[in-house]
Chains A and B, each alone.
Chain A
Amino acid sequence: MSEVLVQRPTVRGGVGESVPRPDAVPKVTGRFDFLGDLHAEGMVWGATRRAWLPRARLVRVDVTPALTMRGVHAALTQDDVPGHRYQGQKVTDQPVLAEGEVRTWGEPVAVVAADDPETARRAADAIIVELDELEPLTDLDEALARGSVFRHVRVRRGDPDARGEVVVEDTYTTATQDPAALGTEAGLAVPDGLGGLDLWGPTQWTHVDRTQLAACLGLSPEQVRVQPCRLGGAFGSREDLSLQTHLGMLALRLGRPVKMVYDRTESFVGHVKRHGARMRYRHEADRAGRLVRVEAQLLLDGGPYELTSSAVVANSSYFALGPYRCQRVEVDGYALRTNNPPSGAMRGFGANQPCFAAEAQMDRLAEALGLDPLELRLRNAIGPGDHLATTGQLIEHPLPTAEVIRSVAAIPLPDALAPADDDPRRLPGGTGLTTPRDRVVRGVGYAVGLKNLQFSEGFDDYAEARVELTAEGARVHTAAIEVGQGMVTIIAQVVRSTLGVSQVEVAFDHTGRIGSAGSTSASRQTQMAGNAALEAATVVRTQALERLGGDHLDDAGVWRGEQLLAPLAELVADGPIEHHVRYRHRPTQQPDADGQGALHVDFCVAAHRAVVDVDPDLGLVRVVEIAIAQDVGRALNPQQLHGQIEGGIAQGMGHAIMEEVVLDAGVIRNASFTDYLLPTCLDAPEVEAVLVEQPSPWGPFGAKGMAELPTMSATPAVVAAVRAATGRALTRAPVRPEDVVGDLR
């Protein structure tokens, strides 16, 4: 027995620390291999031939001119799909390649493979495609009138006769927003020589991709190994397949690896977007400022294929009011089938559009009542013990609505624009030198957002993880996808704090090695992959202690009291200690005919305050500062939380004043970063963030998923601030300069 006193080490990099991301330095120094950097020996390059009309009868596709070109190896159409010819996450209604009818601008018609990207592109252009133009359906009210509906969500709750004295109503519009991930779609398919293949593509959920790919490629799921990918951003746009099936078809046909990379223009038609929406609202309140009745009709532009629209419209409908009590609610949400570009998941998943409308309604109601807008919100704020006004679900877990409102209001306002401040970068119009200081008007606006966490409506939602403890430390296996949000850091922190061991590595496994972790979306993975890793690590720790009868595990090894029983290497001399977990959150219910039930597992809230400087004569807006109070459960990594908050705010404010997919009868007019404007570092505002920590009873170490909320209520807060500065109604996002100027004709 050693007499040397060993100090028990403290775990490094556990929860609560701002642990740096393992991929941070490689990414900023250019040494991180993104999807587009993939390479395989002997690979050929794929390219896609697309349709140039939003709707047309597909008369003829002739690939012969492509096939006769030197260096071209294959040119495939819908007739060449080996298995099921339609794909889709929920309903398989999207043809792998156009069949019979083209239903959206830029729809893929044929794919080719050639020796190099340039030849592939020219071969794709050489394919003869004959289209017979048809009238596209692009208007939402017309789509509704024609019954072109993917899903109607009907919500009815409370006393139908309840009426309020004070009424505000209007119609609101949000334009289509592009996720605009910096990494475009790219992928690589490599045949395994046994009839199957390995596939790297842009994904947020490898197992659901595998299901669709296996069906379309005519393979068993085991023959398709969907590999973890190294994404340059997702925001929801990688939940649906883009180029994967095409790569698989070409690779199987040729028996050699095929790579494909979309350029920026192709990317704009190659991934799903945030639904454009038209929303009619009527709010009624009593004189005391209590919401009595809310009626809402929500029209969401789904594009031609269902994809995730049926789930998105559910979110829109259930979060149509925001975090407020109300006696009577009538919501009709419609996901509509049109010939506009396909919509799908994007950060906030349908809760953003009604948040824009409903928060504007709250401001109007406050004005009509002569109440402070925050006071009106506080009088109606829901919290634990209340029922969600739409679904009637009892709020059982912490939901600090009033706290986030009070916290954001308590953040000191930024200084007024200094009279001597002539730096044009701080004035509306920026470097364009448009705006003298004395023409600037300041406005302040608030908005509050509410959203569900995880999957809802009875979905069997689970995540698998396996933890191994070896002499080198612990390794966590998961199929969860790191899209850039930082889950890789969080999982390791959770396992460090659970095991007491500092050396923890996260191994991302393909679909053949481990079961599904579910999607990296719906603010899921901190709680889902995090809890799976936590449970697995807890069992590993117990087994490690039991092996030697210890009572404590850390970097030194296993202890009993003050005595070190064995270092890690000795503990695992006979093999690693490992445990595999399939973690499920508590089940949710499916809605009844009135949209009622405990449909969600948990909720999250945030409140934003935007301060803007506006040039009313030119309609130019500079967002000075956005303050946010955000419900986080518990901060596992404060720096990452602030990163998600700042990024989310940039995306939300972008949609408030510049980000819009400009559609003209189904055609995208700004499919480039020259004209689809994203905020630059001169546009992004200062951010003041307060984290409201009320630990979740079921999240790992009390944490909640949170990264959608910073985007959601940023958009309505910015527009509210522009309204405050200008007095304009501004019922549309993004606000355009001409909307601010008004009365131009």
Chain B
Amino acid sequence: MHIERPEGLDEALAALAADPHATLLAGGTDLMVEVNLTHRRPASVVALRRVPELREWDERMIGAGVSWARMESGPVTGLAQLARTVGSPQIRAVGTLGGNLGTASPAGDALPWLAALDAEVVLASDRGRRRLAWDEFLLGPKRTARQPGELIVGVQLPEALPPHQAFAKVGVRQAMVIATVNCCVVRDADGATRVALGAVGPTVRRARRAEALVSGTVRPSAAVLDRFEALVREEIAPIDDHRASAAYRRHAAGVLARRTLERCWS
């Protein structure tokens, strides 16, 4: 196995240009599991931990190399809430935002937040940069639009973050559990509301009809919330698997979205 350990972004992109199909290693919390299970045997690896540019975090951009631990203790409400639910403290110390995007699990915990924000994924190669909307980047379970030779540099955020953000996740354990359903609701000062759910379809889903119902300045009535819950259930496509039935996921998604929405007023 060949391992490149670039110490800057340009070096990393050069390494990728020379070996476009190299496997990218950040925190390793997904990759090394697959290696240990022998599901993957990478011939060459570009290790990203020494690339300082990937760890940058400012108003508009979160670097792909920012760890869950930093997100958990950071200033952004929704991001802190979701980061706390990822794995154990050891996992959160090394796992990264970029890794969550690169793996593109339907249950990825950062993805509902990015979708609710309408964030963009910034990709770079030695030929330049491009930005893809979250739903252009996430194509299916563990499938993304990242091309050979490209690196996820980070996430581009909207000009102003919504003042109200809430994240919630259902799992059969108090912590350290893969989502059965996860959900993020954000609400702008003008009442515009966006709702995204994970683990209820091949990729993270926006419940756009439900959003439209509650986007407004008035706090919704119980009847509207009932309708909101029902719309959320209609807008997802969960499956049966070893973690839960599709019927439970559909039910829980409605409950979770409604409660998460209500937290945006508290």
Contact = CB atoms under 8 A, between A and B. Distances in A.
Interface of A: 121, 125, 263, 265, 425, 429-436, 617-620, 622, 657-658, 662, 664, 669-670, 674-675, 677, 679-680, 682-683, 736-738, 741, 744-745
Contacts of A745: 247
Contact of B174 (A618, A622, A670, A674): A622
B1 to A, nearest CB: 11
Given A738-B248, A744-B247, A432 B168 contact: yes
Interface in B165-196: 166-180, 182
A431 B248 contact: no
A436 B166 CA distance: 13
B251 A744 contact: yes
A670 to B, nearest CB: 5
Q: Which residue, of B168, B173, B176, has the highest number of chain A Cβ atoms within 10 A? A: B173
B84 interface: yes
Closest 7 CB pairs of A and B: A430-B174, A669-B242, A682-B174, A432-B169, A738-B248, A744-B247, A662-B242
Interface in B223-257: 241-245, 247-248, 250-252, 255-256
A433 B167 contact: yes
Contact of B259 (A436, A682, A737): A436
A618 B256 contact: yes
A683 B177 CA distance: 12
Contacts of B167: 433
Contact of A738 (B166, B179, B247): B247
B187 to A, nearest CB: 16
Contacts of B221: none
A658 B173 CA distance: 8
A680 B241 CA distance: 23
Contacts of B243: 675
Nearest to B38: A121
Interface string B33-58: 10011100000000000000000000
Contacts of B81: 433
A654 to B, nearest CB: 10
B85 interface: yes
Contacts of A744: 245, 247-248, 250-251
B174 A431 contact: yes
Contact of A675 (B178, B182, B263): B178
A266 B169 CA distance: 30
B94 to A, nearest CB: 16
Given A121-B38, A617-B255, A670 B242 contact: yes
A432 B36 CA distance: 28
Given A618-B255, A675-B178, A675-B243, A430 B248 contact: no
17 contacts: A429-B168, A429-B170, A431-B174, A433-B81, A433-B168, A435-B259, A619-B248, A657-B172, A658-B173, A675-B178, A675-B242, A683-B174, A736-B244, A737-B248, A738-B247, A744-B247, A745-B247
Contacts of A432: 85, 168-171, 177, 179, 182
A679 B176 CA distance: 10
B180 A737 contact: yes
Contacts of A619: 248, 252
Interface string B208-230: 00000000000000000000000
Given A657-B172, A680-B175, 20 more contacts: A429-B170, A430-B174, A431-B85, A432-B170, A432-B171, A433-B81, A434-B168, A434-B169, A618-B170, A620-B172, A674-B33, A677-B173, A683-B174, A736-B172, A737-B170, A737-B172, A737-B244, A737-B248, A741-B252, A744-B245
A415 to B, nearest CB: 19
A265 B37 contact: yes
Q: Which residue, of A425, A433, A669, has the highest number of chain B Cβ atoms within 10 A? A: A433
Contact of A680 (B174, B244, B245): B174
Interface in B75-105: 81, 84-85
Given A263-B36, A669-B242, A741 B173 contact: no
A433 B256 CA distance: 10
- Which secondary structure characterizes the binding site on chain A? loop
Contacts of B179: 432
B170 A620 contact: yes
B170 A677 contact: no
Nearest to A682: B174
A674 B86 CA distance: 12
Contacts of A664: 242
A649 to B, nearest CB: 16
B30 to A, nearest CB: 11
A434 to B, nearest CB: 5
B242 A434 contact: no
A738 B171 CA distance: 12
Contacts of A677: 172-173, 177
A680 B81 CA distance: 19
Q: Which residue, of B33, B36, B251, has the highest number of chain A Cβ atoms within 10 A? A: B251
Contacts of B166: 433
A430 B247 contact: no
Nearest to A426: B174
A543 B96 CA distance: 69
Contacts of B259: 434-436
B99 to A, nearest CB: 15
Contacts of B250: 744
Contacts of A620: 170, 172
A231 B84 CA distance: 34
Contacts of B38: 121, 125
A433 B184 CA distance: 11
A505 to B, nearest CB: 37
A257 to B, nearest CB: 25
A265 B34 CA distance: 12
A55 B203 CA distance: 35
A127 to B, nearest CB: 15
A433 B185 CA distance: 13
A435 B173 CA distance: 13
A487 to B, nearest CB: 31
A121 B85 CA distance: 34
Nearest to A617: B255
A424 B170 CA distance: 13
A737 B243 CA distance: 10
Nearest to B249: A738
Contacts of A121: 38
A126 to B, nearest CB: 13
Given A737-B244, A744-B248, A430 B173 contact: yes
B85 to A, nearest CB: 5
Contacts of B247: 738, 744-745
Interface in B5-29: none
Q: Which residue, of B171, B174, B262, has the highest number of chain A Cβ atoms within 10 A? A: B174
A704 B265 CA distance: 58
B251 A741 contact: yes
B170 A430 contact: no
A670 B85 CA distance: 20
B256 A434 contact: yes
A618 B251 CA distance: 8
Interface string B135-174: 0000000000000000000000000000000111111111
B39 to A, nearest CB: 10
A486 B67 CA distance: 40
A425 B173 CA distance: 10
A737 to B, nearest CB: 6
A401 to B, nearest CB: 34
Contacts of B37: 263, 265
Nearest to B166: A433
B175 A431 contact: yes
A430 B171 CA distance: 9
A433 B81 CA distance: 8
A425 B84 CA distance: 11
Contacts of B182: 432
B245 A738 contact: yes
B251 A434 contact: no
A435 B168 CA distance: 9
A434 B85 contact: no
